[in-house]
Chains A and B, each alone.
Chain A
Amino acid sequence: MLTFQDSPEEAAFRRDIRAWADAHLPGELRWTEDYDALIAVDRLLSDAGLLAAGWPAEYGGRGLPPGLVFILNTELEAAGVQRARSPSHQGVNNFGPALIEHGTTEQKQRYLPRILAVDELWCQGFSETEAGSDLASVRTTARVDGDDFVVDGAKIWTSGASEADWIYLLVRTGSRAERHRGLSFLVAPMSSDGIAVHPIEQIVGGSDFCQVTLDEVRVPRANLVGGLGQGWAVAMTLLSSERLSGRHRYALFRRELEMLARVLTDAAGGDWRAVASDGLHRLGRLVADIEGMGALACRTESLHAAGQDPGVLPSVNKLWWPAAHQRLAEAGLFHASGSGADPAYWYRQWLAARPESIYGGAAQIQRNIIAERFLGLPR
């Protein structure tokens, strides 16, 4: 029978997480965007064994089943821990799970404990100026030279490159004609000779993402993950994690819906009963959109827990939530500025929400995937 009710084990776990957050998460670390504070949150989670609780116990996780991981993430998000903003996010949620599936024992022993301890931060070297949505046309090359690969090229849109200790790279080890079969997956220290980080100024200020140039960078062959020419499989494992990761932002969007409700209420003299019907209509539509995202997250977790393939849900999720959030930010901006409230938060969010429908596979790519793979329409 379908139910939302927690089992006794789940209810106890939920209580434990709430108690932990109450006891250990000071107010200044909640909903923070400050980098040092975000690192401090990661360390707190690490000390409590909550940073990568879904990883198998043999790799330092707690081996929590998907249902409990979902409860953990939901409760942490509700407490103001934004997992998507975590400096450890790339290592914990993207690289770590891919390494656990495709890496050697030595590689797992070398990298995973330091991700868990927040000793080493990771960044992603996938996109290039000529390989965005068409990721299989990567041009950065890696040729074998003795015991090393020699990597030449440039990666772009690399978030957190300035702070990261390591980068994982999708590189071409075969010919360009081979497309995705000629790709391999390497990892390299950001301190390697020949790696340079060029911060890119963003439209919301700051330079969170960067171009990373790779000039004759020597990478030991031991740093190859998943075998020569097997990079695409590793990348796909990684991207499937990334496509699901946005669902952890549900708590933030719920909070923004409440902010919008207050903007509307304040404009109506502080009484929600006096809010005009067009404002209520817009709010209702946005509640439906964001709660739809929440329902997708629950279903995905339910399928996970039942050991079933989530099928089309990751692509549907990745197409749905960015569009919903973009509409929410726009509504917030115009209702705030139209009613004389401070629109600064919403102005920034309108801009900051643009990349959400681009990274992790752009909206138009998700539509192609849905149409061709799931609806059986011809290429």
Chain B
Amino acid sequence: MNLEYDDDESDLLRQVGDLLERIAPVPASGREAPAAVWTGLVDAGLSELGAAVHQHELPLSIVVDLSRRAGRQLLVEQFVSSAYALPALSAAVAGDDARRVVAARLRARPGVLLADGSPRLVPVVPDTVTAGVCFGDVPRSDLYRIVYPAGRFVLQRWDGPPPVVTPLAQLSLSIAAVAVDPAGGRWVGYPLRAGRATVDRLEAEVLLVHSAAMVGCAERLLEITLDHVRGRVQFGVPIGSFQAVKHGLADVYTALVVAWNAILSAAAAAAEEAAALASEQEIALLVARVLAVDAALSAARAGAQFHGGIGYTAELNVHLFLKTILDGAQRGGTPGDMAIELGRRFAASAC
């Protein structure tokens, strides 16, 4: 057993973290991340991570740490959809030429996957569906969907006028309802070599990579909150000296430490080669998911509470973290759905 990165891996992770900090600095205030981010991610080679994992060139345990660092820069959905899930699918496209076309398209422009409301991270939708929900930087992205006609997975890209995009509650940074006009364009299809087991495995990995991004995002929010409570003086002392504040933040930190270690364990477990995920691997992935979302939500609640009134304004960036965490907590199913699924898998293995 080894859950520590070696020196080369640590150097790589640090360098990418520094790079992400430069190309996607967290804004001090405002509504959304800057538009130039995708070019920076592509230049850094991050748009091909998913493909690298599926070609066994990069271990998943490295990707989760990269994702955690992307989450620190508020790039949760951007990283997971455009840098991981879609490149992984593009690597599974049948035929060298088609694969090159898809990869080039993804390098030029981020992509988002259309979901029909099913709680899947790699949604497979009926080929008649032209409206649904997307996670990610939807207005600046290509729209993709996976369909399963005649027992074969096909990745399709919308080639037509831009879809109508409506952010959730007009407030969400990364969940939007999208609709395309089927008369105005067409879906361009790329058959996948992948079978059900590969798609299931990819879905499980996407869940883990997304969980890592959620933890990173929440860690950054905790740091911002800690800075605030160290500096904010009331009753003549920093509010961070009060035990009610200290203990609340210690609980958030504890939950994040546990979640991160569960992610590392699940990544190590997933590295064990198996055609299909073993029951213990599936349980480890769901454990990491439940703990990560729970920890991230606790960071969001504490971040809002301990900032006081100023945290409820757009003058600070706190709301960007709250919305990113709130959006992410709904990806792939609600936190309750995930816990129920975990309970079901455990009961099936125990009884």
Query: Residues of A with Cβ closer than 8 Å to B?
Result: 1-6, 10, 67, 70, 257-258, 261-262, 264-265, 272, 275, 277, 279-285, 287-289, 291-296, 298-299, 301-303, 305-306, 308, 312-313, 316, 319-320, 364, 366-368, 370-372, 374-379
Contact = CB atoms under 8 A, between A and B. Distances in A.
Interface in B237-266: 237-238, 240-241, 243, 245-247, 249-251, 253-254, 257-259, 261-262, 264-265
Contacts of A2: 2-5, 59, 61, 264, 267-268, 271
B340 A301 contact: no
Nearest to A378: B241
B350 interface: yes
27 contacts: A1-B271, A4-B265, A4-B268, A70-B1, A261-B346, A262-B350, A265-B351, A272-B348, A277-B340, A281-B336, A282-B343, A283-B342, A283-B346, A284-B340, A284-B344, A285-B343, A288-B262, A291-B262, A291-B283, A293-B258, A295-B258, A295-B262, A371-B246, A375-B253, A377-B240, A377-B245, A378-B238
A78 to B, nearest CB: 14
B230 A312 contact: no
B262 A3 contact: no
B96 interface: no
Contacts of A379: 241
What band does the interface of chain B fall in when counting residues whose beta carbon is under 8 Å from A? Answer: 35 or more
A281 B340 contact: yes
The 5 closest A-B pairs by CB, nearest first: A284-B343, A280-B343, A284-B342, A284-B339, A371-B246
A375 B228 CA distance: 12
B36 interface: no
Contacts of A295: 258, 261-262, 264-265, 287
Nearest to A277: B340
Contact of B1 (A67, A279, A283, A292): A67
Contacts of A305: 1-2
Given A308-B4, A372-B246, A316 B59 contact: no
Contacts of A303: 3-4
A370 B253 contact: yes
Contacts of B339: 280-281, 284-285, 288
A372 B237 CA distance: 15
B264 to A, nearest CB: 6
A364 B347 CA distance: 34
B177 interface: no
A218 to B, nearest CB: 43
A358 to B, nearest CB: 16
Nearest to B59: A1
Contacts of A298: 1, 3, 261, 265
A258 to B, nearest CB: 4
Given A367-B250, A377-B226, A316 B262 contact: no
B338 A284 contact: yes
Contacts of B265: 4, 294-295, 298-299
A55 to B, nearest CB: 22
Given A257-B350, A287-B287, A296-B261, A4 B226 contact: no
Contact of B226 (A70, A301, A364, A375): A375
B85 interface: no
Contacts of A285: 290, 339, 342-343
B18 interface: no
Contact of B250 (A280, A281, A299, A375): A375
B227 to A, nearest CB: 10
B315 interface: no
B229 interface: yes
B284 interface: yes
A379 B246 CA distance: 9
B269 interface: yes
B291 interface: yes
Contacts of B181: none
A248 to B, nearest CB: 16
Given A291-B284, A292-B262, A301 B1 contact: yes
B10 to A, nearest CB: 12
Nearest to A298: B265
Contacts of B259: 292
Contacts of A316: 253-254, 257-258
A288 B241 contact: no
B341 interface: yes
A261 B4 contact: no
